[in-house]
């Protein structure tokens, strides 16, 4: 049973919240009695997604590559919800390309969305997170730990999210803010569907390489986000929680 939202219900802000892992994380938070603000570059999609979650959700359009848009989105959260208890940085894209011919733009766009975009959201939410002794959950990837052909921009961006997470965990701990990350393996979402359609991801290869033998579901990642965004993880700080079906630890090489 989902509790009716009240002005004192804790608030989760989710970038990339209109779909996939971000939307599932917001839904899980609302199930536990919270309210959620879905921030997405696709304002219409954010508003439609919020409608599916009921009264406890609100959609806000903002591209995380714009400092002005991010600051405006968090100013609206300050004005409307009045608090941020958890910030989930989920906005992201993939743009595979061979390293030898990758353009500067292919790299800088990924870094701008994943790394600087995460920083923009954290910085804008900082006063509200500090006031609530809140939690930050960044979405990394198995790409934070593994070398992946054709994915130099993505692996560089996700590795940097690991460093950003550990540094904020230390720098903002005195402010009462905990910062952690989740590292999903392959999860069914629009992102992976698009890669499949373009022939840039082979389902059988991924399933064979994942110890559990399947893709994950956004709801399974949302459970990890919920743990790190809640007081259940009160002594966890600076951790990268892998949720990858055993992909990164699989030593079955024989
Ligand atoms: N699906 C996977 O297998 C997988 C695995 C590891 C990590 N991840 C990461 O999880 C996160 C969510 O991915 P998903 O699979 O749910 O993808 P998704 O495509 O379903 O959702 C991503 C959302 O982010 C939004 N977005 C993209 N760029 C944005 C920007 N500049 N500003 C604001 N919003 C933006 C999109 O509009 C979309 O709603 C991403 O960071 C992705 O890299 C996904």
- 221: confidence class by pLDDT, cuts 50, 70, 90: very high
The answer to whether residue 212 is domain-embedded is no
Residue 97 DSSP code:
B
Which atom of ligand 1 is the closest one to the Cα of 42?
37
Domain count, the chain: 1
Domain containing residue 134: 11-185+218-241
Q: Which of 3-7, 28-32, 169-173, 218-222 has the lowest mean pLDDT?
A: 3-7
Q: What is the CATH number of the domain that holds 68?
A: 3.40.50.720
Take atom 42 of ligand 1 and give the residue whose Cα is closest: 92
- Per-residue pLDDT, averaged over 49-67, amounts to 98
For the chain, what is the mean pLDDT? 96
- Distance from the alpha carbon of residue 31 to the mean position of ligand 1, in angstroms: 22
The answer to whether residue 57 is domain-embedded is yes
pLDDT in tens, 94-145: 999 999 999 999 999 999 999 999 999 999 999 999 999 999 999 999 999 9
The answer to whether residue 126 is domain-embedded is yes
- Per-residue pLDDT, averaged over 42-48, amounts to 97
pLDDT of 254: 85
pLDDT above 80: residue 2: no
In this prediction the pTM is: 0.97
pLDDT of 3: 63
- Distance from the alpha carbon of residue 253 to the mean position of ligand 1, in angstroms: 31
Q: Which of 154, 168, 206, 226 is catalytic?
A: 154
- 4: confidence class by pLDDT, cuts 50, 70, 90: confident
The answer to whether residue 141 is domain-embedded is yes
Count CB atoms within 10 A of the CB of residue 108: 12
pLDDT of 7: 81
In whole angstroms, give the CA distance from residue 107 to residue 153: 5
- 190: confidence class by pLDDT, cuts 50, 70, 90: very high
The answer to whether residue 107 is domain-embedded is yes
- Distance from the alpha carbon of residue 113 to the mean position of ligand 1, in angstroms: 10
- Per-residue pLDDT, averaged over 169-195, amounts to 97
The answer to whether residue 197 is domain-embedded is no
The answer to whether residue 196 is domain-embedded is no
For residue 180, what are the β-bridge partners?
A: 137
The answer to whether residue 77 is domain-embedded is yes
- Per-residue pLDDT, averaged over 151-174, amounts to 98
Higher pLDDT, 6 or 139: 139
| Residue 154: active-site member | yes
Look up residue 140 and give its two tokens: 């990394």
What are the angstrom distances between the C-alpha of 25 and each of 14, 48, 68, 230? 8, 16, 25, 12
CB-defined site of ligand 1, < 6 Å: 15-16, 18-22, 40-42, 63-65, 90-93, 113, 117, 139, 141, 184, 186-187, 189-192
């Amino acid at each position: 049973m989902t509790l009716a939202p009240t002005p004192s219900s804790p608030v989760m802000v989710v970038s990339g919240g209109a779909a996939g892992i971000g939307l599932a994380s917001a839904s899980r938070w609302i199930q536990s009695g919270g309210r959620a603000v879905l921030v997405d570059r696709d304002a219409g999609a954010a508003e439609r997604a919020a409608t599916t979650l009921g009264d406890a959700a609100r959609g806000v359009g903002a591209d995380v590559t714009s400092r002005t848009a991010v600051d405006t989105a968090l100013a609206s959260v300050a004005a409307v919800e009045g608090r941020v208890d958890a910030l989930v940085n989920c906005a992201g894209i993939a743009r595979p390309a061979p390293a030898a011919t990758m353009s500067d733009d292919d790299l800088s766009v990924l870094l701008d969305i994943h790394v600087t975009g995460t920083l923009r959201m954290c910085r804008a939410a900082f006063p509200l997170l500090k006031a609530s002794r809140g939690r930050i959950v960044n979405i990394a990837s198995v790409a934070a730990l593994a070398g992946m052909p054709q994915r130099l921009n993505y692996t560089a961006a996700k590795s940097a999210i690991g460093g950003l997470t550990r540094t904020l965990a230390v720098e903002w701990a005195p402010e009462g803010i905990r910062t952690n990350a989740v590292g999903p393996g392959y999860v069914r979402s629009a992102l992976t569907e698009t890669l499949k359609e373009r022939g840039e991801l082979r389902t059988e290869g991924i399933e064979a390489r994942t110890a559990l033998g399947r893709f994950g579901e956004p709801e399974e990642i949302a459970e990890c986000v919920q743990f790190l965004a809640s007081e259940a993880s009160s002594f966890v700080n600076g951790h990268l929680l892998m949720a990858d079906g055993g992909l990164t630890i699989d030593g079955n090489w024989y």
